Every structure is written in C-alpha cells, then in structure tokens.
Amino acid sequence: MPNETQDSYLPHPAFAANVNLKNQDEVYRHAAADLEGFWAERAREYEWFKPWDKVLDESNKPFFKWFVGGQVNIAHNCLDRHIKTSRRNKLALIWEGEKGDLRTFSYHALNREVCMFANILRSMGVKKGDRVTIYMGRIPELPIAMLACAKIGAVHSVVYGGFSVEALHGRIEDSQSNVVITCDGGWMNGKVVELKKIVDEALKRCAMIEHVIVVRRTGQEVQMEAGRDYWYHELMVLPIARGNSGGNRCETEVMDAEDPLFLLYTSGTTGKPKAIMHTHGGYMVGVATTLQWVFDLKEEDRWWCTADPGWITGHSYMVYGPLLLGVTSFMYEGAPTYPYPNRWWSMVERYGINILYTAPTAIRGLMRFGEAWPNRHDLSGLRLLGSVGEPINPEAWRWYHRVIGKERCPIMDTWWQTETGMFMITPLPLTELKPGSATRPFPGIEVEVVDEAGKVVPVGEEGYLVVKRPWPGMLRTIYNDPERYVKQYWSKYPGYYFTGDSARRDADGYIWIIGRVDDVIKVSGYRLGTAEIESALVSHPAVAEAAAIALPHEVKGQAIHTYVMLKSGQQPSEELAAELIKHVGHEMGPIAKPEKVTFVPQLPKTRSGKIMRRVLKARAQGLPEGDISTLEE
C-alpha cells in the first residue's frame, strides 16, 4: 500500500507563480463563515435580468432553492453576454471530426447558429418548459441544440449516443418529449453509428414524438418519415430560422432562477434510470465558479474536456462551464486511438491545448501504448490536467503527471456526480496533491464520512460519504418522482445528502473515494445500473432471471459480469452467451455489453427474493461471502 501521508506533490514553482487564486485559504474561510454571502458574490459575476431576493431558501427541505426570485437565463450568460464585448470574435469552439475535418465557431457565429435553431424550435411549437430529447454524436450541433433549448426555456434531455433502442425509448417516454434532435449517424472508430435508425426503432415503441430533426453528418442513407422528420440543414435556410435580423435575432426567454434547465438520466440503485433535474440559476453559478477556480482558467486558455455531452461532465464542463467563462473550448468527435494511439496528443499539440480534463480509464487505455506516442508531440502548452469519473489509481496518476504533464502540471482530481452538477471534492491549483485522492471539499462544501448509524468514522476508516450543506449546483428533484428524490438522497441520514459512495479521510483531512456502495457500475467511467442490464437480459426470450455485478478491470476500471438462469427447456451454450451479449448491446448500447455471461441453475437470493449480488461478487473473486444468514436455502 502506498504511503498516503508522505506521497504528495507540491505545485511546480513556475506554475504556482501564475495562479489566479492565490489566497486559497482565505476563500475556504470566507465560504465556511458565510455560505450565502460567498455564493452571492460569485453569482454577481453573471448577468441577471432581475436580482434574487434570497440566496438560499431552506424552508421546504430537502427541496432547497437557490437565488429565489432572481431571473436569469444560462444561455444569455453563455452567449448574449459575450457578444456585447471584445469576446465577440473570439473562438468559442474548435471542433475536429474523426476524419480530420475542422470547424470553428466564434462567440458571434455560435450565437447566430443557436439563435437560428432556437427560432426553428419555436416555430415547431416548442415552448418554455417543454422537454426535448437530444440524441447525437459528438458534433457542434449537439451543444448548439442544448443552448437553443436553454435559450427558449425548453428543458433538454440529452441521451448519450452510445445508448441504444430501449435506453433511448425509456428516456423519451419518461421525459414526455415531443421533439427529438438527432443525426443520420456518427463516426466512431472509423465506423458509422446508425443513430437515426436507432431513433426510428425507439419511436416505434412510443407514440408522442411529433418532430424529429436530423443533422446530416455521415451522409449515409436514412429513412425520413414525411411530416415527422426534417433535415436540420434544410430548416436552417428557411426565413424563419434567420429571424428578422438575418440570424442574430431570437428573444432569450426570461427564466426564474429555479426553472428547470435540463433532465439527465442516470442509473441508480434499483429500477429504471431516473431523470436528475438541474436549474438555470444555481447550476450556472456552481459550474462556472468551480471551473474557473479549479482549472485556473485564463482569458487566452484553450480548454479541452474530453467527455461526451451525453453525460454530466459534458453538460457542465464541455458545454456550459467554458462558455460561461468565455473561454475557447476544443471538442473532438471520435475515438482516442483513431487512427493511431497518438490522436489525442497530436490534437493537444496542433490546437495548443492548455488544459486537459479526462477520465482515468482513458489514461489507462492510452498508457498501454507506451510513452513513445505522446513523446512524439510537443505537449509544452499544457498547464493543468484533470481527472474525473472514478478513483484514479496512483500508477495512472503518475504516468499522466510525468509523461503528459512533464511534472509541471498539477492534476485536479475532481469528485462529483450527475446529482451534484458541479465539482464537490477537488484540489484548487495550489493544493498539495496526493495521487488517488480528490483532496478536500470545494469552498462552501462540507462533507463527512459516517458509519451505518450516521456517526463520524475515525480517521483512516471506511464509511459512507455524505454532504452536510446544500450547494447551488445540486439537483432539485427527480423529474416526476419527488418521493424517490427524498428517499434516495435525503432519508438515510436526515439532513445530509447521501452520495452512494464510500470513502475515508486521512490524517490531513484528505478524502479518498473508494467506490459505489449501491448497484451502480462504472464501466470506463460511464455510469450504468445493474438493474438496467438485468432487465435487458430478461427481455430475451430464453432468459428467466439474471444478475449483473461489477468486477475489477485493468482498463475499464470495472467490467460487467452477468449470471443468467435460463427458462426451462433452454440449453446453455457459447452461442447463446454470445447472443445474449449482443442482445444487451442492441437494447442498452455497446457500453453496457457484459464482459461475460455465466449460466447458473439458480441465483443466490434472500428469503424475500432479493438477488444477493454481493454473494455473487465474493464468489467470483474467491473472497469470503460475508453475512449470508438471510440467504435462502
């Protein structure tokens, strides 16, 4: 075991000399002493149509409200605010396609595109509060669609392009969207992902979709249903798109700070994925503040968050955060190793990336190809590195630090969740780092590590990670299921937010995240629920029951292993196992494909019929099975 108290890294002096936030300790103190004053000061950095009356309203716990009475629109702060300034002609977005094609958007050009598309959505009858599902590859039209929704007050629900038919269908249905925005296909690893075809299949399972807008990306043949499906590029030349001033005119909807901005589905302990709801006001303040301080963003920086906009990291730190700060972002369409394992490093060099924010799984994946690939490139533009999604193993941390950051760049290991909306536990640029620890809570955030009874556990011992005070970027509810919101997050320890993670605190107060304590699996940093994988398996005619567990995996972090009980008359075979893996891929998406299917005559269950995944996991790893007193005979 590494020595956790000595193995630490101070910021490089050349880096430290140029950090914006020099008075870190003072900031922590201010936030701890005056939470509302602290966040109010941050909020005043942005434009409000009407100032708030109250920073934090705790009168209806746990339905906290932030910046109550304030009026704002996050899209206004991402675009309208900048085009009035010298940022107007600055690049907002640089995008490279997998095949090497390049597109760039200045703030002015991005705003134009967003206004035009927002006019189209309005003309289709999309109003404030309506839900719009977005299901696309990683192309500029994805953030454009999100911003257009925000601008007119519609609530976007982005479904990750790596999900498939049933996952998409469930999310469209649950959000009651009337419009889907997609593309013909997407490029990934040199192959086409047939997004429109998946949309068509999902829509056969649900009826309420009125319009489908299709961006042409790959140019492959797709079916367009007359009266329902429209090409984006055809709509965008209509006078309606250009508005009455040739493209820059589209009224930004005035929103209440607490009005919903988006739904994002995520996997939880049981049952179907839940729609986490975030708002315009608090989310904006939380995301912008954390990005600005943690990554020390400067006006001239080029920022690259490698996440897909289909996940929270993409929402907060690929789309909204950088635009709120007026910086230049880079976005890449395809796979990190296409056509060779130097693709990322080549782009870091060519576009002069200063800050790279990615996931441990990507680092481990690229590490496998050796140092020669990154060493062929000039990475000297890099100033800071970031990590998110799962605990980073010290080996990957050190490689990232030495080979990519040349021992000059600190690594910001940011712990947070879809639900938190923003970084929660993270270093600031001058924090002393320990590989594998996300260090300390962000200013204004208070966490604790507690035992089953809610008692603080001693230093060094494992316990449940809870958050003790509300924060502006917090989820407000689970869409259409406020009871589940209360039960899932606020009931285990009344007054505290339950994260679902276990952690320990060391003698310096640093937090070490251990992992999920529920049935959430992190495959390559992607969050999946055992329940979804199991229900995909059970939807196959040969399967009676199924259980999914996570086992450690060298690159992916965790991999899905499944145990399947067949219906009587069905015979286990290798072909059937392969078919079941394919079936899960078809229903859920390639990321959810099990690593392995094991046929079993029965599954370990409690007497009340609950599958004991814990027992399966212990058996698979040859570990003690623990307390099995509730195991059925």
Q: Which residues bind ligand WTA (CB under 6 A)?
A: 266, 311-313, 387-391, 413-418, 438, 499-501, 513, 515-516, 522, 527
The Cα–Cα gap between 73 and 46 comes to 10
Tell me how far, at minimum, the Cβ of 387 lies from ligand WTA, in Å: 6
**Which pair of tokens denotes residue 381?**
């533009």
Tell me how far, at minimum, the Cβ of 628 lies from ligand WTA, in Å: 26
Tell me how far, at minimum, the Cβ of 553 lies from ligand WTA, in Å: 15
Residue placing its CB nearer to ligand WTA in the complex, 218 or 558: 558
CB of 183 within 8 A of CB of 136? Answer: yes
Helix, strand, coil distribution of the chain in percent, nearest 5: 30, 25, 45
Tell me how far, at minimum, the Cβ of 422 lies from ligand WTA, in Å: 10
**Which pair of tokens denotes residue 111?**
């705003």
The strand pair at 54-57 and 65-68 is best described as antiparallel
Tell me how far, at minimum, the Cβ of 529 lies from ligand WTA, in Å: 11
Residue placing its CB nearer to ligand WTA in the complex, 177 or 558: 558
Residue placing its CB nearer to ligand WTA in the complex, 232 or 512: 512
Neighbours of 163 (CB within 10 A): 27
Neighbours of 181 (CB within 10 A): 28
Tell me how far, at minimum, the Cβ of 91 lies from ligand WTA, in Å: 26
Residue placing its CB nearer to ligand WTA in the complex, 109 or 591: 591
**Which residue, judged by CB position, is nearest to ligand WTA in the bound state?**
418
Tell me how far, at minimum, the Cβ of 391 lies from ligand WTA, in Å: 4
Neighbours of 262 (CB within 10 A): 29
Strands (E) located in 389-458: 411-414, 447-450
Q: Up-side HSE of residue 15: CA atoms within 13 Å toward CB?
A: 26
Residue placing its CB nearer to ligand WTA in the complex, 301 or 413: 413
The Cα–Cα gap between 321 and 348 comes to 20
Residue placing its CB nearer to ligand WTA in the complex, 111 or 361: 361
Residue placing its CB nearer to ligand WTA in the complex, 52 or 311: 311
Tell me how far, at minimum, the Cβ of 70 lies from ligand WTA, in Å: 26
Residue placing its CB nearer to ligand WTA in the complex, 313 or 562: 313
Residue 264 CB contacts under 8 Å (≥ 6 apart), including other chains: 157, 158, 275, 276, 278, 311, 312, 315, 418
Residue placing its CB nearer to ligand WTA in the complex, 440 or 516: 516
CB of 400 within 8 A of CB of 387? Answer: yes
Tell me how far, at minimum, the Cβ of 396 lies from ligand WTA, in Å: 12
Residue placing its CB nearer to ligand WTA in the complex, 342 or 420: 420
Residue placing its CB nearer to ligand WTA in the complex, 351 or 526: 526
The Cα–Cα gap between 220 and 357 comes to 32
Q: Up-side HSE of residue 415: CA atoms within 13 Å toward CB?
A: 30
Measure Cα distances from 325 to 253, 289, 418, 510, 586 in Å.
Answer: 21, 9, 21, 29, 39
- DSSP secondary structure string for all residues of 477-529: EETT-HHHHHHHHHTTTTTSEEEEEEEEE-TTS-EEEEEESSSEEEETTEEEE
CB of 218 within 8 A of CB of 186? Answer: yes
CA–chain centroid gap for 579, Å, is: 30
Tell me how far, at minimum, the Cβ of 417 lies from ligand WTA, in Å: 4
Tell me how far, at minimum, the Cβ of 297 lies from ligand WTA, in Å: 19
Tell me how far, at minimum, the Cβ of 416 lies from ligand WTA, in Å: 5
SS3 561: strand
- DSSP secondary structure string for all residues of 358-391: E-HHHHHHHHTT-THHHHTS--TT--EEEEESSP
The amino acid at residue 10 is: L
Residue placing its CB nearer to ligand WTA in the complex, 202 or 513: 513
Residue placing its CB nearer to ligand WTA in the complex, 186 or 500: 500
The Cα–Cα gap between 50 and 458 comes to 46
Tell me how far, at minimum, the Cβ of 497 lies from ligand WTA, in Å: 12
